[in-house]
A = this chain, B = another copy of it.
Amino acid sequence: MSDGAVNVDETIKRLQAQKDVVGVLIMDSKGRVIRSTLDEAMTTQTATLMHQLCDKSMSVVKEMDPTNDLTFLRLRTKKHEIMVAPDRDFLMAVMTQLNPSK
Contact = CB atoms under 8 A, between A and B. Distances in A.
B70 A73 contact: no
A101 interface: no
Given A74-B73, A75-B61, A68 B80 contact: yes
A49 interface: yes
Give how many copies assemble into the complex.
2
B52 A60 contact: yes
A70 B75 contact: yes
Interface in A17-75: 45-46, 49-50, 52-53, 56-57, 60-61, 63-65, 68-75
B57 A75 contact: yes
A79 B75 contact: no
Given A65-B79, A79-B65, A60 B70 contact: no
